[in-house]
Amino acid sequence: MSTHYTATAKALHWVIAVLIFGMLGLGFYMTGLDLSPTKLQLFSWHKWVGVSVFVLVVARLAWRVTHRPPALPQHMAPIERLAAHAGHHLLYVLMFAIPLSGWLMSSAKGFQTVWFGVLPLPDLLAKDKALGDLLQTVHVTLNYLLIAVLLGHIGAALKHHYFDKDDVMTRMLPRRGD
């Protein structure tokens, strides 16, 4: 059995990782701007990339359920295994819920999402200011939760590499021949 993730799983992991960090930065930056053409442009880009991340996460999950990842190291205690599984489940849930909440928020606020300015996504919610504000709170709160889970994810990977000295982090890194 392979000790590495498949090249596809790695590619999806790192592309999504880069996009998520970019989106977190962009999201916090753009919401602080005064209204300007630049702000409208950044919001549109944020929404386009958000939809793209959602599509990539669907692909990622489809790949994950059809390709068993390498097993966890033997030394891990049951509680650590549980934490690892819970953390990854939460990451998948958030990677779905965050773009979804952004899309619904846009609909409720009356700003339809048109992917890359070409493909209009249906508005699942009618324009409703109160609901839009609520969904904005949901979107922001889920992102704070994501940041917390990501810190745990990165911290755990580094712990595995530097303290446990196992291959949990390196098996997700690109290698020659992938």
Partner 1 sequence: MKRFAIALFSTLALATSAAQAVEYNQVQADKSQIAFGYQQMGVSMDGSFKTFSSQLRFDPAAPEAASAAIEVELASVDTGSAEGDEEVARKTWFNTPDFPKARFESTGVRALGGNQYEVAGKLTIKGTTRDVVVPATFTPQGDTGVFEGSLTIQRGDFSIGEGAWKAFDIVVNDVVIKFRITAAAK
Residue 137 found at the interface with partner 1 (CB under 8 A): no
Shortest distance in whole angstroms from residue 76 CB to partner 1: 48
Binding span for partner 1 by CB under 8 A among 5-13, 14-22, 73-81, 110-118: 110-118
Residue 140 found at the interface with partner 1 (CB under 8 A): no
Shortest distance in whole angstroms from residue 34 CB to partner 1: 9
For partner 1, which is the closer residue by CB, 37 or 78? 37
- Please state at what angle helix 37-66 crosses helix 78-108, rounded to 10 degrees: 140
Whole-angstrom distance, CA of residue 58 vs CA of residue 78: 29
Contact indicator for 50, 143 with CB cutoff of 8 Å: no
Whole-angstrom distance, CA of residue 28 vs CA of residue 160: 31
Q: Which of residues 6, 52, 112, 136 is near partner 1 by CB under 8 A? A: 112
* Dihedral, CA of residue 14, residue 18, residue 20 and residue 23, to nearest 10: -160
Residue 127 found at the interface with partner 1 (CB under 8 A): yes
For partner 1, which is the closer residue by CB, 138 or 169? 138
Shortest distance in whole angstroms from residue 58 CB to partner 1: 23
Residue 109 found at the interface with partner 1 (CB under 8 A): yes
The string of DSSP codes covering 63-120 is HHHHSPPPPPPTT--HHHHHHHHHHHHHHHHHHHHHHHHHHHHHHHTT---EETTTEE
Whole-angstrom distance, CA of residue 123 vs CA of residue 14: 30
Q: Which of residues 113, 135, 146, 160 is near partner 1 by CB under 8 A? A: 113
Q: By rule CB under 8 A, what count of residues binds partner 1?
A: 18
Residue 141 found at the interface with partner 1 (CB under 8 A): no
Question: Footprint of partner 1 on this chain (CB under 8 A)?
Answer: 35-38, 40-41, 44, 109-114, 116-118, 120, 127
